[in-house]
A = this chain, B = another copy of it.
Amino acid sequence: MLSFECDYIKGAHPKILEALLKTNMETMSGYGNDPYTKSAKEKIRAACGGDVDVHFLVGGTQTNKIVIDSLLASYEGVIAATTGHINVHESGAIEASGHKVLALQGVGGKLEASTVRKYIESFYADGTYEHMVFPGMVYISHPTEYGTLYTRSELSELSSVCRDFGIPLFLDGARLGYGLMSYETDVTLADIVELCDVFYIGGTKVGALCGEAVVFTKKNTPKHFFTIIKQNGALMAKGRVLGVQFDTLFTDGLYFDISRNAINMAKKLKELFVSHGYEMFVESPTNQQFVIVENKKLEELSKKVGFDFWEKLDGERSVVRFATSWATTDEDIDALEKII
């Protein structure tokens, strides 16, 4: 059945499988000490345009947990939007590592710099703050869980707040490619490198079988990060699996091509819905589109196309999510038109 359920319903981009196949019989050391991992790191450094540190991990929740825990002191928590993935959909992974998620009200999935600044100022103004959880980091996602994007100016302001208070800005880029390739962004990878202290380039949701590339931008990789990864059960014996995939993704701009295709398809999909009279729940310039559908229609649609139920809007309407990916084609969009 036609499906836009999410951006991980297909396997990997064919070039990735091809590379795994091609390198399969090569003898390589384990744990990331292989030439492809090395090459992938160099290519990502080149794409970032700076002397950054790159590490590969398997999945998003794992990455958020390890990065956050390794950068926070025991008495610190992480500021996030109430809708942030770490606050809602990671089964309490952050708390399980000992840290409170300091959830602040965002707008369209985004955290505003003024909200963060006010929160931290109030914290230190409170006479009892030593009895409270210190704000030790700011976590944002880009694109957010609602497909929205920070502007360069917004990101810059968040970065300023973090620097004013001496805490890192961490950008969850599980879907980073879709943000970078959006037609409506002024944020480049170089901007992210400059403004964030750490971020990751999502692979799982952008064409890989699995894998996330963590980038520490300020020579701030936590000491013995390798051992930290191992202790968290996140070290792959066959590290080549991640190395080969990211090496492929960052060869000839594949990562960006994949992302651009998803963006193009999402644009078409959105226009399709709008032209058919549907209202969008949120203005998303990326690969996730949130469509408002009447409940009656919903049932009918769900028999013909896969999508993700998001939430009830009111008694009669719901919000559903359609996501595109590297694998979405013009034919898929055409097929969708006949259904909606």
- A residues adjacent to B (C-beta < 8 A): 1, 3, 5-6, 8-12, 14, 17, 20-21, 23-30, 58-66, 69-70, 73-75, 77, 88-93, 95-101, 127-128, 130-134, 204-205, 209-210, 223-224, 226-228, 230-238, 240-241, 306, 309, 327
Copies in the assembly, this chain: 4
Q: Are A205 and B59 in contact (CB under 8 A)?
A: no
A89 and B17 contact, Cβ closer than 8 Å, known pairs A11-B25, A204-B237: no
Chain B positions within 8 Å of A89 at CB level: 128, 131-132
Q: Which of A24, A63, A65 has the most CB of B within 10 A?
A: A24
| Complex: chain B residue closest to A2, CB-CB | B27
The minimal Cβ–Cβ distance linking A211 to chain B, given in whole angstroms, is: 10
| Complex: chain B residue closest to A64, CB-CB | B233
A29 and B11 contact, Cβ closer than 8 Å, known pairs A75-B228, A209-B238, A210-B241: no
Q: Are B93 and A99 in contact (CB under 8 A)?
A: no
Q: Are A131 and B230 in contact (CB under 8 A)?
A: yes
A30 and B6 contact, Cβ closer than 8 Å, known pairs A74-B231, A133-B92, A232-B93: yes
| Complex: chain B residue closest to A9, CB-CB | B27
Chain B positions within 8 Å of A88 at CB level: 132
The minimal Cβ–Cβ distance linking A276 to chain B, given in whole angstroms, is: 23
Chain B positions within 8 Å of A98 at CB level: 92, 95-98
Q: Are A90 and B306 in contact (CB under 8 A)?
A: no
Q: Are A209 and B73 in contact (CB under 8 A)?
A: no
Q: Are B91 and A231 in contact (CB under 8 A)?
A: yes
A93's partner among B23, B69, B128, B231 (CB-CB below 8 A) is: B231
Q: Are A233 and B130 in contact (CB under 8 A)?
A: no
The minimal Cβ–Cβ distance linking A177 to chain B, given in whole angstroms, is: 15
Chain B positions within 8 Å of A62 at CB level: 233-234
In the assembled complex, 6 residue pairs joining A and B whose CB atoms fall closer than 8 Å, in A order, are A11-B25, A74-B96, A75-B91, A97-B98, A127-B309, A205-B237
